Structure 1
Amino acid sequence: MFWPATFCLVAVLLTVVIINTIVGLLMFYIDYRQPIYWHVLSPYLITLVVTIMALSVIYEFYIFRTGGYSLAKQLGARRLSLVESVPEESIALKITEQLSDIFLIDTPALYVLPSEEGVNALTAGFYPKDTAIILTWGALQNLDEVELYGLLSHEFNKILSGEAAENTRLKILYSSLTTFSQWGSKLAKRGFYRNGYIHENKFETLFVSLGAIIWLIGSLGVLITRLIKFMTLGGRTYKNDQKTKRLIQNNANIQTLMRIYVHHSGSQIHSEYAESISHMCFANALSPQNWMNIHPSVGQRIFELNPGIIHELQLENLKKLKNQPLFNLFRSLEESMVDFSIPWSSPQPLPLLRLSPISFAIKDAIKPLNPEIRDNWKRPELIDRALQTSTGSREVMVAILMIRQYREFIPAEAEVSRAIVDALLNLDGRVHIAIFHEACKNIGGMPATVSRQFLMKLARIIQEDGEIGLLDALLIERVKFELNLMPVHTPTALEEVKPSIVRLIDALLHVQQINSDSQLEVREKILKRILSQTELELYSEISDEPIDLAEILNDISGLQLRERISILGVAEVCLWNDRIITQDELDVLALLYWRLGFESADVVELMQKKNSLMII
């Protein structure tokens, strides 16, 4: 801490000299006989300023006697508890415990700043036993499990490297320069609101005026502090990003940065303490327009971790322009860069959306089978033998997709065993998808080129007649996952993917066993909950343009956690709240939950119970 203490002392001396000089200029204006650099008020002014600074440091030392917990209390953060937590908080607590076990350190306390919408985090404490990780409300509400893992891993890297303790000491040292600014902000806020609620106060003008004056005096210390921090701490962010990437051996921290990149509030923290804790945060806690920010921009950090991403985003953006409404085409390219390029593309020409569901005899499709019964359904010995080898499993998958595509018509030139096709046709059609999932797990490892060829073969089968359904597309997504050909997890902004959401709703409707008139009514009901009135007019008619459901699913899977939950919730309420769900619909629901990053077992069980009650 020698050099930080030295720099802090230099900053204090510089601040005192500048304040004394400014007052000296005022004294010289009043009495020209007064020297500018040492006037009659200098001893008292210097004594007062140094005393206030010293007392603020002593007070901070006292406040931090219990480590990081004290900072959390000072910021007004709420501690998370597993007993009283909501699902998002439980995930954060679970990841924290997992990382603590991996790195063999005491589990740090986890806090949340309830009024901060920006996605950010900071760590404070001197020792692992008194360390606290403080997340913003925006981080808990907008990050999925992978992104949250990347954020918390970055904070654990600070704990392991000792940077968290160093940052805490720096916060205490530099409090001498930021105290005036904090006092001014607190006083000014009393003129606007208290505890987040707007209220009338006859002294509000006085509070705002005095607060602004005190803040203006303290802004000199803030500016000097920011300059010193920028010079001494500005280069470590890139190093921490690289160290975190090596520590966890994956790209979770890139995904976290991408989420901040597309988030409407970014990483900004609006607390009066934002300046004093900016060096402790994961990303920039101040406005991006501020000078000398300690953290580089999120775009620069992403580029340092993966130089090819920005270029890929630009290329992918050009591909997506055709799917945007007309008013979106006038937005700048930089504003629309929200997605990565996809490593595998659907075969061309792209198909149309299937307007009628593919299903088997109506008696088979009415009620879905219990998952346990379906998994244990007695199957022909030929199918069981085929599933024991990777080659046989791939052949079973091809056969199932052919049967789904052509019903009971199989082309004579099809490269698949007729015996397997006959065995499958003799089974209840509701069992086919369960067999497909089992075969998908048994296909084994293949070279990248062979994997792409096999995936292309399956994709051509499901769009052979120029049309495609949602269940078939989701099955292909499952195969892509097993072959490691899934696109990179890509955070996206809601405004950019609304066309994709509309196409997904249309695809969902065409899986339903309901008539066309009811489909249109349900479609309008769903879209009213998702789109504004202006947007409803843009999407009033079902598009007949070619569609890439794989790209659409990839776009929607990058939405914020809450947005994905909202879309799925609306679909469930509007589609299956008052009617029996079929086997195809239940398979779509389970796969859709999986593709958007959620566990589907509980949802499937709930739908099964609803079905039983409605049938009774």
Structure 2
Amino acid sequence: MDFFTAQDNARRKTGRLVVLLVLAVLALIVVTTLAIAVAFYLMGDQSTAQADLSAQGMLSALSIELVFGVAIGVLAVVVLGGLFKRSQLGRGGRAVAEALGGREINLNTRDADERRILNVVEEMAIASGTPVPSVYVLEEESINAFAAGYQTNDAVIGITRGTIRNLNRDELQGVVAHEFSHILHGDMRLNMRLISILHGILIIGFLGGMLLRSMRFRRVGGGGKRDNSGAIILALGAALMVIGYAGTFFGNLIKSAVSRQREYLADASAVQFTRNPEGIGNALVKIGSHTLGSHLQATQAAEFSHLFFGQGVRQGFSQIMATHPPVKERIKRVMPDWDGRFEATWPKQPDETDAPDSLDSDERSAAGHRFGSGAEPGTQAAVLTAASAQTAIGSMGQPDQRHLAQARATLGALPEQIRTAAHEPYAARALMHALLLSEDKATRKHQLEVLQQAAQPDVYQALMDYGPDVLKLDVALRLPLIELALPALRSLSMPQAQHFRICMERLIEADGQVSLFEWTLYQLLLNNLSEQGSGPSSLKLNDLQRECQMLLTVLAAAGQDDPDEISAALNAAESELPFSLTAIEDISDMRALSLAVERLRRLKPLHKPALLLAMARCIEHSGRILPAEAELFRAMSDILDCPMPPLLSEEA
């Protein structure tokens, strides 16, 4: 399944989720109405209640007013409960990870286990074209993981201590690739919405439990013959307990209906990503053989059970309600030759872990050769052609081993001091500032003077330390550096983030004009560090002709100055669109471009491929794609919420 079809399916599943919610609420209204009718009947004349305890007698307490009142009450509880949970999860994946007791891993950790999982996540993110997510560790010895968040800019990967201690690197890659599949295919956002919706349903059961617990402070029949309050509370408590079980039943049914098939698809995507079925297959075998399995002890594990890599809570007697398929079935699908045996494994002790994960000298040498180490800035050894852009679009949401190898080479080509600096909040800000420094010495001097007045002293000093190395970076390494720095930048407090944004704006405005690269970098950071979404994806391509013309004219002019060449690039792009293109004369207004891109982000998923293909035609019409054009193409795709893997050379 390609990226856009998967996104569209996830969007449609949201609609089906609403249908399931409506059915569950209707069922709860029926159960609640009957329960309250019985309670009212018992609250009435006791002699009458004792005389007629038949179903017909109890149903006589029903009325239109009662049904209407209960329906309003249930709807209010479900809606308010859902909105309350949505506000609790407003921070995206971080809120889920912290609710489960997770701790964010320090990006410069010295722990070998933690360093290994961070490296695996960084490789997977760069290979898939997504921002590097923050990683949280849950101090549990079972083997499990999860991805949580509403979109890629607030996504986190959570992983248990038992996972990173007991799995080798290939197995960790399989698990992380599985979680990235959930991020790329829209499952993560769907799962987050499911949490809020189910909370609204289950809260009625929570209220029933509160009433039952309150009975401990009441004496049934202790207030005389006419005091039947204890019996009433008993009846209401029992009724709401039934409602609670009903809510739990419907909640688990919805979870099962939404999540089980997605687990099979994520397993298959992990195999395609890593080209190593034994990686994820053996990880599942270790879950089956581990003494603790994949079960979590966290108190809120049941609420988030559909997010996990493995069955996070004990499923009870019915497999129908399980949020995950049986482990044996999952293993057989990825490793058909598996013999079906589990060998018991025990949690490793800390001193039994693998050696720290890092690139050896041969890998760094190969990476340096691939990216033209020692060459002039802006050069790249690999030659990108028209096929490179087409392959990248086709690989969106389903990158493979070639992209993973390219990601390793990219990380290996980054100087060690730059890669380490990207993990530290002060230095990460300095690296982003350095990317904006002009190659013209006079302009750069003025930019530094402006920044010295605005930036924090530690950030400015880091800029002076790392700026010269950043200026020498190959063009193809700039976008990966931005992606690598995002977790550190997300850790900034709100005042720090606002100050960072002001400094970026002053740097951009220092020379009195906004270049396309400056605009792109600023938009990328804004898109990935802001909590605001782009709104519903409901627009069609034909509705955005003017916006397409603006974006494609800017893209065409980025690669050449000759008006005839720009026109040729637009003509090539026009072949992928349902309308003709006319070059826009004034493309210097970056605010207009920002507004155009914001509208284009709201395209329906199945309408975005045509725009991306038009963008590819625009940069490849000459038969060769320059590294700067490739960088701009991928950055624009990221801004449009279409994470694109690295462009591969013909050799790759």
Q: Considering only CA atoms, is the larger Rg found in Structure 1 or Structure 2?
A: 1
What TM-score results when the alignment is normalised by the length of structure 1?
Answer: 0.45
Q: Name the structure, 1 or 2, with higher relative contact order (CA <8 Å, separation 6+).
A: 2
What TM-score results when the alignment is normalised by the length of structure 2?
Answer: 0.42
